Amino acid sequence: MIVRLGYVAMSMELQNASPSQTMTFAQFKRIKDREAAIRKLERIAESNIENCLRLLKHNVGNGVHFFRLSSRLIPLANHEELLDWNYLTPLKEPLKRLGEYLKEHPMRVDFHPDHFVVLNTPDSEILKNAVKTLSMHKALLKGIGIDLEHRCVLHVGGGYDDKEKALEQFIHNWGFISPSIQKMIMLENDDTTFTVKETLYLCEKLGIPMVFDYHHHLANHEEADWRNDWDRIVSTWELSSLPIKMHISSPRSESDFRAHADYVDPEMFLQFLDEIKGTVPEIHCMIEAKQKDAALFQLIKDLRERTSFRFLDPSSFIID
C-alpha cells in the first residue's frame, strides 16, 4: 500500500508567501476611488496566486506531491457589491502559470471551501451564495487547467435541530446543483454535527466520495469503532479516478479536543496505518496541523526513525 502525505494551504517555512492575503469589505469601502480599490483587490489576488506558485515549488523541492490550495485566493470575489468585478480576467495568466508548473510537476491539489459554504441550507439565498462560491472554485480549477473531478471537500452542513431532515434537505438541494459542480464535491464527516455514518448515507445515495477525518470521528460519532465503516468509506471512491484521501490531525489537548495540535502524534498515525494496511492500493493523507508543512516534515522524520517503511520520495512510502 502506497501512502502519500500532504499539507494545507500555507507554509511555516517559506517567508512572506501567504496565499491568503486579504482586504475586508470595510477596508474596501474606505477607499474613495472604487476603481483603485478594485485594482488593489486584483493586486492582492495576483500576489496570492504568485505565492501559491512559490508554495508549489517549495513542495516539489521537498518532495511533497499532495497539497490543499487556499480557498481565499481572491478577496471579496463573491461579495454582492462587487458583482460587476470580473476578477478572472487579470488572473488568467497567473493561473495559467500554475497550471504549466503542475503539468511539469504532477501534484494532487484540491480545495476546502470555508465552512459557510453549506449545501443543505433550507434558505435559498444561502444556497445561492454557496453555489456562487463553488463556481469560483470551478473557475479557478479551469483557469489552472485541472480536471474538476473531486477537488472540493465540504462538510454536510447545519443540523437545524433535526439531522434527519437536514440530510434530506441536502439531497433535495443536490438536485438543483449543476453536474459540473456536483462532480467537484467530496464530503467529510465533521466534529460537531454529522458523523461518518450520516455522511456515508449521503455519499452512497448521491455517489460522492467520502473524506474520512479521523480526528473529527474521535470527537463526534455514534459508534467509536470506525473500522466497521471503513469498507463503505473505501467503496465511495470506486467511482473516482483519484485515490482515496483522508484527513489526519491530533487533538490539541484533552480539554480542547477539537482544536488541531501543532504536530501529528506519530504513534496514533502508525496505529491507524496498521489498521488499514492492505485495504487499498494507495491512500493520500492530508496532514491538518497548526504547523502546516513543518508538521508534515516532522511526521516524516518520526516515521523514518520508528519504521522501516520504504520511501518512494520524501513524502510517500510503501507499507507491506
Partner DNA sequence: GCCAGTCAAGTCCCG
Partner DNA sequence: CGGGACTTGACTGGC
Contacts to DNA by CB under 7 A: 10, 18, 20-28, 44, 79, 114-116, 118, 121, 123, 126, 129, 157-161, 192-193, 258-260, 290
Q: How far is the CB of 19 from DNA (least distance, A)?
A: 7
Nearer to DNA, 283 or 289 (CB): 289
**CB distance 74 to 45 below 8 Å:** yes
Nearer to DNA, 142 or 290 (CB): 290
Q: How far is the CB of 167 from DNA (least distance, A)?
A: 12
Q: How far is the CB of 191 from DNA (least distance, A)?
A: 9
Q: What are residue 246's DSSP bridge partners? A: 212, 285
- Indicate the pairing of strand 282-287 with strand 244-248: parallel
Nearer to DNA, 28 or 237 (CB): 28
Nearer to DNA, 170 or 317 (CB): 170
Q: How far is the CB of 74 from DNA (least distance, A)?
A: 13
And the C-alpha cell for 31? Answer: 477607499
**H helical segments located in the chain:** 25-30, 34-61, 92-104, 124-144, 163-174, 179-182, 196-206, 214-219, 227-235, 266-276, 292-306
Nearer to DNA, 214 or 237 (CB): 214
**CB distance 166 to 120 below 8 Å:** yes
Q: How far is the CB of 226 from DNA (least distance, A)?
A: 21
CA pair distance 243, 238, nearest whole angstrom: 9
